[in-house]
Structure 1
């Protein structure tokens, strides 16, 4: 019964000072909304980026070790960066390519971990409708083209004079099915030939193995006829069945090819995904910390309200103490006030967080696909707990001060 009376006294005090208490609770509301909204935005951004990167993070790009390190990625989606014009195998002065024997060793090392395919890559002069420029050219085996590429319009090449192009390249150059492109640079001793566009690929987006959206892809026979270097691959790509096998696959390949000398380097796109998601998480934490400043302001407001309440109720406290109310009961009375303010503020903040958080995620991330996931919604109870804890912490000293007032001095107060 005593507890009920103390709780009623706490509620009565809040009612008598409703506006002041409301403003104090509003600080908690703002803090909860700020922390939970920023947390949900970060979680949704991390999940969205992770999903997007996961589609390409299951790729290992293997290149010849030319002694330059080769540990990082070149431009995003370019399969390792800009290449120089290929020399024919008879004139190559350095082994900057992978041989068929290397490819077969990689195939054996990968085994059931994933799909392996070799890739030629170069950049050369093109001419379309009298306009000249440069483009990235990929060469692929016929079977690999059928397995790896997805055609949006048209079909895959069936002859050495036909090619497929990426959607971005087609749009930029104004190309359609049946268009003809002159490819090759005579000044680099390349064969100059005309090719017919027979297919436009489906948009792939960001990718680590090759940027097909903005490139020309031709059969191996056509590529070798243009650049030379038959079975001299610029890179070998491994598409893993399970991204968790990345380390095991890398170790297997390195044990097979790099036992004596460093023959190949492996670029693991999953490491890049981990780095990006880690960066996003760090930024989220930083933004939440900034948002948390609002709760410090709220804590100051709660502390001020509680101290004013103690000051205004000194005589009431004296009366309570004189009729036998114990110190710990007076202490609880003020702690209850802080808890009520915290609970009300946190509850309102939680409701507003779901509304404003949804809008923030939609505006900043562009999708609310992951909004109602555990990883996202966990920030709402987390922010509520922080808000309530700050209220209680802010009310401890005023409550202690009220409980330790001398009853006689309190009764003398005006």
Structure 2
């Protein structure tokens, strides 16, 4: 018996029990779909982060101070210790293009006319920060002006979606209300710096002057100075970023106001975007491996289903097996028929699951605004796994069928 005959007989048996075969394949479909979906989303998230933190971001050094016992994402436990003098001195360091101070402005609500929504904070930057390519419309804010830039999620908070040129009222934590002019809307709601995390919630961006008002007496100057939790020290290029990072840490430890303001149990952290990407990749790889492992449970369920239906099929077709052997079919021919049937169920499940997984993964990337990365190698793995699941699950039932005595099989009712 050749392969074509085995495939034909297997398809005929599957068509004869469409519902049962379909439910059996469903376990494999669910498992493969889950695996492909999680791998697609993981790869797409990594690609999105590389795009956001790479490129020009490859020259960035992210600086904050944090208690030594605190671990977590960038900025975890950050203390406000970097003064305006520190910003100016770091700006003068070798191979430094610019230093951007970053702070948080506490809010209670934001309003567009009578339309008011709750928003706890806005992000303030010490320079214009946003490039023209970052903006869907308008421009970046200017220092010293009552201006704001919104991300699309913030612009869409109101019944009449805000655009560049509209006016927004900020209710500050101290009870004051300030009218600001919306001068730009970003192209995306993804995080604009590593300290924002990876959520896509509504965000308002302001200039530090005049909105950021956290002030201390400068240890060196003796004058009131703004004090910031985090800084971006931007090198002239990726090649200089390592040296800039080392010089930044040296200055902070030996000459800065921050060294005086920092608490005894707090240390300075200077992290390049490449270091951050390595950490994020490790986290995403671990998370993807975990959820993929969970999804593999569905494949195990699918394998059990295939083994079950093949055992039932062997029992139902006992007389057919006896007739096949009576007309000259060898044990390996019978084994091949049932193994082929199990493999077909696995291949169909893998193919449908791969397509469904790519579709769900694509929908997920569109929903969270990420680039769609197709895991071609996982598509091949899915098909191979589907075949293996089918073959391994059908091996014992097929072997059991091949061992059937033809005389007993012909007598079977």
TM-score by length of 1: 0.64
1:265 paired with 2:269, answer: yes
Aligned twin of 1:278: 286
How many pairs are equivalent?
374
User: Cα gap change, 1:109/1:43 in structure 2, threshold over 3 Å: closer, same or farther?
Assistant: farther
CA distance in structure 2 between the aligned counterparts of 1:158 and 1:13, rounded to whole angstroms: 75
> 2: CA distance between counterparts of 1:298 and 1:148?
57
Aligned pair 1:145/2:116, yes or no? no
| Residue 136 (str. 1) matches residue 121 (str. 2) | yes
Distance 1:210 1:371 in 2: 25
1:23-42 correspondence to structure 2 within 5 Å: 26=22, 29-42=25-38
How much has 1:68 moved relative to structure 2? 6.6
Report the secondary structure of 1:197's partner residue: strand
Structure 2 counterpart SS, 1:62: strand
Match of 1:218 among 182, 197, 207: 207
2:388 maps to 386
TM-score of the superposition, structure 2-length normalised? Answer: 0.64
TM-aligned CA distance change 1:13 to 1:165, over 3 Å? closer
Q: Which residue of structure 1 lines up, in the alignment, with residue 305 of structure 2?
A: 297
Tell me the distance in 2 between the aligned counterparts of 1:17 and 1:149.
60
In the TM superposition, what are the counterparts of 1:10-29 in structure 2 within 5 Å? 26=22, 29=25
Alignment partners' CA distance in 1, 2:118 and 2:321 = 84
Q: What corresponds to 2:106 in structure 1?
A: 123
Verify: 1:43 aligned to 2:32, yes or no.
Answer: no
In structure 2, the residue matched to 1:237 is 232
Distance 2:104 2:27 in 1: 54
Structure whose alpha-carbon radius of gyration is higher = 1
Shifted more, 178-187 versus 231-240: the winner is 178-187
CA contact (8 A) 2:149 2:205 kept: yes
> In structure 2, do the counterparts of structure 1 residues 24 and 412 end up closer, same or farther at CA, with 3 Å as the change threshold?
closer
User: For residues 153 and 31 of structure 1, do their structure 2 counterparts lie closer, same or farther at Cα, with a shift above 3 Å needed?
Assistant: closer
Structure 2: distance between partners of 1:346 and 1:413: 32
Q: Once the 2 structures are TM-superposed, how far is the Cα of residue 295 of structure 1 from its aligned partner?
A: 2.3
What's the C-alpha RMSD, in Å, of the aligned pairs?
5.3
Shift of residue 333, structure 1, vs aligned partner:
1.7
Q: In the aligned structure 2, how far is the partner of 1:116 from the partner of 1:180? A: 28
Alpha-carbon contact 1:27-1:295 (below 8 Å) kept: no
How many Å separate the matches in 1 of 2:131 and 2:4? 73
Pairing of 1:160-171 with structure 2 (within 5 A): 160-167=144-151, 168-169=153-154
> C-alpha distance in 2, partners of 1:115/1:38?
45
Cα distance, 1:310–1:12 mapped onto 2, change above 3 Å: farther
Deviation at 1:302, TM superposition (A): 1.0
1:236 Cα deviation after fit: 0.9
Instruction: Spell out, residue by residue over 1:373-413, the C-alpha distance to the aligned partner (whole angstroms, 9 max, x if none).
Output: 414523441343223322542345315623xx5x9x76996
Residues 1:161 and 1:133: Cα distance change in structure 2 (over 3 Å): farther
Q: How does 1:151-190 map to 2 (within 5 A)?
A: 151-158=135-142, 160-167=144-151, 168-169=153-154, 172=157, 177=165, 179=167
Say whether the 8 Å CA contact 1:123–1:136 is kept in structure 2: yes
Question: Partner of 2:103: helix, strand, or coil?
Answer: strand
CA–CA separation in structure 1 for the residues paired with 2:353 and 2:157: 44
Structure that is richer in strand per residue:
2
Distance 2:124 2:8 in 1: 81
Between the aligned partners of 1:293 and 1:242, the Cα distance in structure 2 is 53
Contact 1:64 1:264 in 2 (8 A): yes
